[in-house]
Structure 1
Amino acid sequence: MTNLSKSSLGVIVFVLICFGVLLRVNWINSQVENLEEKFQNYLQKFHKNYSNINEYQRRLVIFRNALEEIEVLNSKRKSNRSAIYGLTQYSDFTREEFLQMTLTNYKSLVQNAEIQKPNQPFVFRRKRVPVGKLPLKVDWRNKTFVSDVKSQRSCGACWAFSVIAVVESMNCLKHNKSEILSIQQMIDCSKYGNRGCLGGDMCTLLQWLTDNNVAIELEEHYPLQLQNEQCKMNRNGSGVVVDHYICRSFADNEEMILKLLATHGPIAVSINALTWQNYIGGVIQFHCSSSLKYMNHAVQLVGYDLSDEIPHYIAKNSWGKTFGNNGYLYIAVGGNLCGLANEVVALSVV
């Protein structure tokens, strides 16, 4: 090969390398622009704004990580009914921020034990039946016995939201009265270690309510403020009174949850919601630990569907109607998924 041809080959190789680098740079720029466009659309959709450039860039990186996580989670779907993940109002939060903003350091004070007033056996609203004879589908929303989805925002009082939701349902079932009750009264006044928006426990709330024969006031008389305030409870006022309750673990007997939903009514459960950050629909089957140490939230269960391709519970959350399916989500039956059988609350009202 002549020196000229060697020189020409070197030039060609150099040009090809430069062209490849240029293509790579253009591809990276297009990806960055595409990411920026997606982030701008996201900010507009969820009415967010980051005017500080450093904060904007930090949120952009978190957003990019969320997109990658969403892609991984959706790639593991086993069915069209499986949970689907996408962008939510929490997708530009770190996991730690999400935990602090929407969840609470919810510690089950029951730890597999039962808290129940002595000599007051819990009475099911209807006669219990064997699991094999339970209806395949129960949805108390269809009978208007479930109040609207609420938003706790950054107030960690899911324990109060879930219990009051059940009290509202049971009051409607017994007295045919759709009354919206005061969550704020629970936030401000509940004792026994409950700390309002800083966290609490469903079981100790019910113990406090029954020990003191507390009348739960109407929301219109004691409106929701979503912050800890001084207790303004009217001790001589009227309201709904909890009669009996159970607070138990059914981790080894999840069939009892189905029986409660079918023969008694809506219930409340403590749960691990850490992986719900980007949930937008479908049935959660995976990526949700049942360990007691991860209990950080509480929700109302309003029914189940055993006839579905993926048998599941119907859960009413307290993150507003923009979350999941109009504020609801679906969790597969069996295996104590998300720890939903670790602490189960059912109750009756006077």
Structure 2
Amino acid sequence: MEWRTVVVIVLIVSLCFFIVPIKVDFDKTEKDAELFANYIARYNKSYRNDPAKYEERFEHFQKSLRHIEKLNSLRSSQESAYYGLTEFSDLSNDEFMQQALIPDLSLRGQKHTTASYYHQHSTGSINRMKRMIPIIGIPSKFDWRDKGVVGPVMSQENCGACWAFSTVGVAESMYAIENGTLHSFSVQEMIDCMPGNFGCQGGDTCSLLSWLLASKTRIISEIDYPLTLQTDTCRLHKISAKTSGVRVTDFTCDSFVDAETELLTLLVTHGPVAVAVNAISWQNYLGGIIQYNCDGSFNSLNHAVQIVGYDTEARIPHYIIKNSWGPSFGNKGYIYIAIGKNLCGIANQVSSLQVI
């Protein structure tokens, strides 16, 4: 065979190896573009007619798609968390952190670990929880929603006030447990009136509770101080002193790391709690129980939510988490996290309270 012929054959074969991946990548990009067009229509994104912004968002969207594929490939059962497109899927990780989370929450929370209201809980047998041996004295599953004392899921939108939503939500539940009636109290009051003027730029549940207790400030009705989701001037002085409300009479801000059995007991015997968590991996969460890929270190805390129940009878024992990203996120606004490994840092900073 002539050497020129050999060279031509080698070149043709080599090109085949390059052509195939190019076609695969093109097909994937084309499919991604179709998904992105549907995504923009579904969530009514404003950048559909802005080519530069469109391209930037498409790149973030593609990264989310690949990350979703990776997370779903790690599922160990039908009950495991599953991921897909959410309203946050066109954001970078940094943008998601700035828009939906509180980047410095762990720094805010660190100062409470030396306060009188902070307790480090522990248990003599950590392995007992990991093996999920039935816990004596409390039911194997419990959900405060069944008691009619948990309000509807709210949406914080672009206001970083998860700390206020979670605290007020627990106050509503505690008032309902004590008085038999569920009322909506004002999150906006907390956003506007909490000293330091963090407002929509962030805060933390322990600082809010400390101020509410020390100042004896009442959390008044949502009707009397409606939600605007913007940081405004405090309007309490304009509201009648006769307006009804609820007042915090005591609270704790505790760690239940390696003591989640005690956390379950607190949930049953006292009521829902507000907790600081690491929610960076929730960006594309759709449902199921989170078991992996959710760092639990104190330094990773960046969001505040409520625990309203648990289920240890389930194949994957888990907490029931009420979030503040609206009822369309996750499972009707709820997220489920496996019990026993401090996943997402759920046991690092747990706030319980009493009201009158």
Instruction: Choose 23-32 or 95-104, whichever is displaced more.
Output: 23-32
Residues 1:166 and 2:163 are matched in the alignment: no
Contact 1:161 1:183 in 2 (8 A): yes
Give the partner amino acid of 1:213: K
Give the partner amino acid of 1:33: E
Residues 1:332 and 2:352 are matched in the alignment: no
Give the partner amino acid of 1:176: G
1:348 to 329, 333, 354: 354
Cα offset for 1:48?
Answer: 1.3
Structure 1 residues 222, 23: CA separation in 2 closer, same or farther (over 3 Å shift)? Answer: same
Matches within 5 A, 1:187-206: 187-191=191-195, 193=196, 195-206=198-209
Find the residue that maps to 1:108 and give its secondary structure.
Answer: helix
TM-score (structure 1 length as normaliser): 0.89
Q: Distance in 1 between matches of 2:89 and 2:139?
A: 38
Q: Percent of pairs identical after alignment? A: 45
Cα offset for 1:331?
Answer: 0.8
Find the residue that maps to 1:185 and give its secondary structure.
Answer: helix
Give the match for residue 307 of structure 2: 301
Alignment gaps of 5+ in structure 2: 119-133
Find the residue that maps to 2:113 and give its secondary structure.
Answer: coil
Residues 1:75 and 2:68 are matched in the alignment: no
Structure 1 residues 194, 231: CA separation in 2 closer, same or farther (over 3 Å shift)? Answer: closer
Alignment gaps of 5+ in structure 1: 118-129
Cα offset for 1:174?
Answer: 1.1
Residues 1:43 and 2:46 are matched in the alignment: no
Contact 1:250 1:343 in 2 (8 A): yes
Give the match for residue 112 of structure 1: 113
Find the residue that maps to 1:133 and give its secondary structure.
Answer: coil
Alignment coverage as a number of residue pairs: 334
Cα offset for 1:235?
Answer: 6.9
Matches within 5 A, 1:80-95: 80-95=78-93
CA-based RMSD of the aligned residues comes to 2.1
Q: Distance in 2 between matches of 1:323 and 1:45?
A: 14
- Which protein shows a greater Rg? 1
Give the partner amino acid of 1:100: Q
Residues 1:244 and 2:241 are matched in the alignment: no
Structure 1 residues 217, 111: CA separation in 2 closer, same or farther (over 3 Å shift)? Answer: closer
CA deviation map 1:302-331 (0-9, x unaligned): 000010111111000000011110100011
Contact 1:114 1:249 in 2 (8 A): no
Q: Distance in 1 between matches of 2:112 and 2:36?
A: 42
Give the match for residue 129 of structure 2: none
Q: Distance in 1 between matches of 2:74 and 2:170?
A: 34
Give the match for residue 154 of structure 2: 150
Structure 1 residues 335, 28: CA separation in 2 closer, same or farther (over 3 Å shift)? Answer: closer
Q: Distance in 1 between matches of 2:174 and 2:9?
A: 80
Give the partner amino acid of 1:108: G
Instruction: Choose 291-300 or 91-100, whichever is displaced more.
Output: 291-300
Cα offset for 1:169?
Answer: 0.6
